[in-house]
Amino acid sequence: MALDTNTQTRIDLIAVADLVQEGSRVLDVGCGEGELLELLRDKRQVDGRGVELSQAGVNACVARGLSVVQGDADRDLGDYPDDSFDYVILSQTIQATRNPREVLGQMKRIGRRVVVSFPNFCHWKIRLQLLLSGRMPVTRTLADEWYDTPNIHLCTVRDFLDLCETEHLAIEKTLMLAGEKSWTEHNPGARANLRAEQAVFLLYRK
């Protein structure tokens, strides 16, 4: 059932929140200022925790009454016990980690389910920009110039599917987002890789 939320909430956050069971335990890695955690707490009655790199983000979260610690996805996930969460979420963060594969490995150890959302670098607008302008694309989901961007490990839907295979992660559900539209892809192929601006994966250990 889709969440009944106001239109101010980012579509990708709603898509992620829709994948989470009510009342579950959730760790949001790279939780920013806590938008998703707050949404999960208020609409899904989730027992949520967060990790956030920026101290300003952490302070904002705690001031909102969320349980968040300052930490680095690349370094600080090792502390969490095995299977300590129902879901570990990496929302729009994987592309900014130094070692996405290790982060994913930690997440599947900590959580029974893993949710990853990221901007798809193969969206047709990005392909077109590269082709026509010969410059690094700047879009709604990738808003920074190449020299400013925190995104050091961008990938495509197809790339991510390969990584899931390597990391022995099975796909339970896949959501594709473009503009204000979202749809489920049971077997994302070349067409999805072209159409999706963002992708959300619900994964579990094989």
Partner 1 sequence: MSAATGAHTGTAPPDPRLEAPEARLETVTFGPDKPLRLDSGENLSPVTLAYNTYGELNADKSNAVLICHALTMDQHVANAHPQTGKPGWWLRMVGPGRTIDTDRFFVICPNVIGGCQGSSGPTETNPATGKPYGLDFPVITIADMVRAQAMLLDHLGIETLFCAIGGSMGGMQVLEWASAYPERVFSAIPMATAARHSAQNIAFHEVGRQAIMADPDWHGGTYLDHGTRPTKGLAVARMAAHITYLSETALFRKFDRNLQDRDTLTYDFGAPDFQIESYLRHQGMTFVDRFDANSYLYITRAMDYFDLAAVHGGVLANAFKGTKTRFCVVSFTSDWHYPTAYNKQIVHALIAAGANVSFVEIETDKGHDAFLLDEPVMDDTLAGFIASAARQRGLT
And the tokens for 201? 């994966």
Among 69, 138, 163, 194, binds partner 1 (CB under 8 A): 69
Q: Which is nearer to partner 1, 85 or 160 (CB)?
A: 85
For residues 167 and 161, give the distance between their C-alpha atoms in angstroms, rounded to a whole number: 10
Q: Which is nearer to partner 1, 77 or 169 (CB)?
A: 77
63 sits near partner 1 (criterion: CB under 8 A): yes
Report the half-sphere exposure of 113 (CA within 13 A, side-chain side).
16
Contact 35, 16 (CB under 8 A): no
Q: Which is nearer to partner 1, 23 or 189 (CB)?
A: 23
Residues 20-59 contacting partner 1, CB under 8 A: 49, 55, 58-59
Q: Which is nearer to partner 1, 49 or 113 (CB)?
A: 49
Q: Which helix (H) or strand (E) holds 53?
A: none
88 sits near partner 1 (criterion: CB under 8 A): no
79 sits near partner 1 (criterion: CB under 8 A): yes
* Min separation Cβ 130 and partner 1, Å: 40
Among 20, 39, 61, 199, binds partner 1 (CB under 8 A): 61
Report the half-sphere exposure of 168 (CA within 13 A, side-chain side).
6
Instruction: Concatenate the DSSP letters of all residues of 109-131 into one string.
Output: HHEEEEEEEEEBTT-HHHHHHHH
Q: Which is nearer to partner 1, 74 or 76 (CB)?
A: 76
* Min separation Cβ 175 and partner 1, Å: 29
Kindly give, in sequence order, each residue whose CB lies less than 8 Å from that of residue 44, ignoring residues fewer than 6 positions away: 3, 17, 20, 21, 22, 23, 24
Measured on CA atoms in the order 54, 58, 21, 109, is the torsion positive or negative?
positive
Among 65, 144, 189, 190, binds partner 1 (CB under 8 A): 65
Among 3, 62, 171, 194, binds partner 1 (CB under 8 A): 62
Residues in contact with partner 1 by the rule CB under 8 A: 49, 55, 58-59, 61-71, 76, 79-81, 84
